[in-house]
A and B are shown apart, each in its own frame.
Chain A
Amino acid sequence: MKNILKKPAVQSLIASLICIILGLLIGYIVLLFINPDGAGEAILAVVKNFFNSSRANLRLKNFGNTLVKTAPLLMCSLSILFAYKVGLFNIGAAGQYMAGICGSLYAALAWGWGWLPCMLFAIVCGAVLGAIVGLLKAYCNVNEVISGIMLNWISLYTGNMILTKVKEGTSPYTLSVSGHASKALIPSLGMENLFANNKYVSIAIPITVVVAIVIMIVLNKTKFGYELKATGNNKNAAKYAGMAENRNIVLTLIIAGGLAGFGAATLYLTGFEQWQVTATAVPAMGFNGIAAAFLGGLHPIGAIFSSYFIQHITNGGAYVDLTKYSSQISDLISSIIIYLCGFVLFIKYAMNKTIAKREEKQAQKEKLASEAGKGGDGK
């Protein structure tokens, strides 16, 4: 009989569930310290998210809103996951996402492009930023984490500067896409009817799931994906085997950047949000993508579920009783979960060790039993 716990996929799932449960528990304890009454309710409100709404219609609508924001998060987590498979930590996803916001909104509002060109332009913007990180890494040996962070800030300020040209007269927000560039809205093809006429729900959501599957196929079933993973496992061995390791690094980051840029388009071309051009912080989506990627066990399909979960609790933060806590509770919980994801290797190691121990005991018992049986034969 094969032990089901030995399968890597099952182990990843268990490790992720442990991270989630521990994350919620630690979050709860932290809340107890901050304000003892209502800690339980606050955590429950975060976990329940749209189930907090009283009417079925509203619940469906809010479920749609969560999905709308899951799409970009999934793309950011795929961006990080894809790069991580090649041994690169793409912390620059936040900046690439910002480049996507800037590209899609500017193309829509200033040039009046349709939704598809806008989306492609956002992908290109993200990819260019990714390419810079890749080139610096491959040819100048600059650590991709440091250059990624620097580019995050550069792209934030550049984006703010460019988007100032398409902002509303008096407010710091960009013009609304639905009001000024309805051509650029991603079509919904009737999907809105499924979510109580939530007009932000569009075909972007199923497209992102398809992209996740494509990424899985590229990584696991193609020569290109194999080469990328080989480069990630051992750069020198890959080079020795005749793989162009520098080209692979640059290509990886271009794809990763494109994914993050695409993610931005899936959100901002629905008109769900307007960008605030006075923002002083890099969009958090890119960093939450890190949480989603690792929580999903670094597997594209796992990322779909983990992205949804992270977005679910992030949206749930809005239902917290604001007189007692702030909505940052969900940030707190997701950061605790990322911290715990650092322990995943250890959890798997511990699991394997217990299984091995148990099997050894089992084998010893059987051995003893069979010996005892032999002894019994000769009576």
Chain B
Amino acid sequence: MTLLLQYTLIFSSVLLLVALGGCFAEHSGVINLGLEGIMVIGALGGALVMRYLPAGLPAIVVVFATMGGALLLGMIYSSLLGVACINFKADQTIVGTALNMLGTAGATLLVKAINTAANPDDVSSVIQYIEPKKAFLVNIGGFEFNWFMLVAIVALVIAYVVLYKTKFGLRLMACGEHPQAADSVGINVYRMRWAGVLISGVYGGLGGICYILAGVSEWKFENGVAGFGFLALAVMIFGQWKPTRIALAALLFGLFRALSNVYSGFPFLYNLNIPSNVYNMMPYIVSLIVLAFTSKNSRAPKAEGIPYDKGQR
């Protein structure tokens, strides 16, 4: 049972972080379909930091350095989306899809090159982080507390306060609802959208490193992040683009994802003799059903996905 709770919380943290990232981008008016790729690159940043960090540093340094690497790389990578979609008015769907493919391909290429350079016989795309991973975990009576659970809660509070209680957040949301009106009162729409995209890069990068730290102590970058970026988008839609609702949605989706990891530990689930593939499918099926019922009255930002053109009215 503790195992289920632990996995639910850690997967929910991943989904919450990434969905909040998507939330910022969409409120500014840019659909960020590239979250999956941003997660991979963020995970790469964090994993590289963990690999090259000298052993024996205090845990807090490891945690912050790893998070720093992840969010920095995530942010830099998301600027590719910004340039194309904000400045060059490119189709956001194509660019997002390209970023997803580029993230996995680029990360695999780089990690393989690093591994082969270190050892000519090693052509894998795996980075190990057994030792530094311990810095993230605190064992409380069998329950492995991961610092990212706290990070996710802090991120949620920040997102809520920034979006609803600050001038910046309200302006950001105005750019996603009606950019022309926002522009007419002196808000720089391009700058606001850039802010939205870069923040989503930071959140996505953090979510990425959190994801690869969730269960295992090494990551094969060829696998990408198995559709988690898109699952997070489903969480965001289910949460109706509101941070608090997104948090609840993330908990629900996290639970289903966790079940597929630990169902064999529950005798009654194990005895049902359902193939593991069914559990793997669960989060996706649930999100499809949920979307089917909630999308009709969607409260999506009105101007999302439409490139802002100053000359248009």
Residues on B with beta carbons closer than 8 Å to the beta carbon of A324? 113, 116
Let me know if B106 and A30 touch, CB within 8 A.
Answer: yes
* Contact indicator B284/A153 (Cβ below 8 Å): yes
User: SS class of chain B's interface: helix, strand, loop or mixed?
Assistant: helix
Q: Are A342 and B101 interface neighbours, CB within 8 A?
A: no
- B91 to A, closest residue via Cβ: A342
A153 partner residues in chain B, CB cutoff 8 A: 226-227, 280-281, 284
CB atoms of B288 and A141 under 8 A apart: no
- Given the contacts A140-B292, A142-B291, A339-B80, A160 and B277 also touching, CB distance less than 8 Å: yes
Asked whether A146 and B84 contact (CB < 8 A) given A161-B278, A341-B94, the answer is no
What mask results when residues 274 to 303 of chain B are scored 1 for a CB within 8 Å of chain A, else 0?
Answer: 010110110011011001110110100000
A224 at the interface (CB under 8 A from B): no
> Cβ of B89 and Cβ of A141 under 8 Å apart?
no
B41-59 CB mask vs A (1 if < 8 Å, else 0) is 0000000000000000000
Contacts of B62 in A (CB 8 A): none
Q: Chain A residue with minimal CB distance to B296? A: A141
Which of A193-201, A229-237, A330-338 lies at the binding interface?
A330-338
Contacting residues, chain B, for A34 (C-beta < 8 A): 109-110, 113
Shortest distance from the beta carbon of A310 to any chain B beta carbon, whole Å: 12
Query: What chain A residues lie within 8 Å of B293 (beta carbons)?
Result: 140
Given contact pairs A153-B284, A331-B108, A338-B101, a sample of 14 additional A-B residue pairs in the complex whose CB atoms are under 8 Å apart? A141-B295, A141-B298, A149-B227, A158-B277, A290-B94, A323-B116, A325-B109, A328-B222, A332-B102, A334-B101, A342-B85, A342-B95, A343-B88, A345-B91
Complex-state Cα separation, A115 to B280, whole angstroms: 32
Report if B197 contacts A (CB, 8 A): no
Residues of B within 8 A of A (CB): 33, 80, 84-85, 88-91, 93-95, 97-99, 101-102, 104-106, 108-110, 112-113, 116-117, 120, 123, 125, 222-224, 226-227, 230, 233-234, 237, 275, 277-278, 280-281, 284-285, 287-288, 291-293, 295-296, 298
- B102: chain A residues at CB < 8 Å are 332, 335-336, 339
* A152 CA / B237 CA spacing, docked (Å): 19
Instruction: Compute how far the CA of A339 lies from the CA of B224 in the bound complex, rounded to whole angstroms.
Output: 18
Say which residue of A145, A151, A280, A331 sits within 8 Å of B33 (CB atoms): A145
Of A280, A328, A341, which is within 8 A of B223 by CB? A280
Of B94, B222, B226, B298, the residue contacting A338 (CB under 8 A) is: B94
Given contacts A140-B291, A142-B291, A146-B291, contact A326 B108 (CB under 8 A): yes
Interface on A for B, CB 8 Å cutoff? 30, 34-35, 89, 91, 136, 140-143, 145-147, 149-154, 157-158, 160-161, 280-281, 287, 290, 294, 322-326, 328-329, 331-332, 334-336, 338-339, 341-343, 345-346
How many Å lie between the Cα of A290 and that of B80 in the bound state? Answer: 19
A311 to B209, CA, bound (A): 33
Question: Distance (Å) between the CB of A175 and the closest chain B CB?
Answer: 19
Instruction: Report the bound CA distance from A291 to B118 in whole Å.
Output: 34
Chain B residue with Cβ nearest A340: B98
Residues of chain A within 8 A (CB-CB) of B109 are 30, 34, 325-326, 328-329, 332
Contact of B113 among A35, A157, A294 (CB under 8 A): A35
Query: Which of B90, B116, B117, B291 has a CB less than 8 Å from the CB of A343?
Result: B90
The 9 closest A-B pairs by CB, nearest first: A342-B90, A335-B101, A331-B105, A339-B98, A338-B98, A335-B102, A326-B112, A149-B230, A342-B95
Alpha-carbon distance A138/B296, docked complex (angstroms): 10
CB of A84, distance to nearest CB on chain B (Å): 9
User: Min CB distance, B92 to chain A, in Å?
Assistant: 8
In the assembled complex, which residues on chain A have CB atoms less than 8 Å from the CB atom of B227? 149, 152-153
Contact of A325 among B93, B98, B113 (CB under 8 A): B113
Contact present for B291 and A281 (CB under 8 Å): no
Complex A-B: 21 CB contacts under 8 Å:
A136-B292, A140-B295, A140-B296, A145-B33, A146-B230, A146-B234, A149-B230, A150-B291, A153-B226, A290-B94, A324-B113, A324-B116, A325-B109, A326-B113, A328-B108, A328-B109, A331-B101, A331-B108, A332-B109, A335-B102, A335-B105
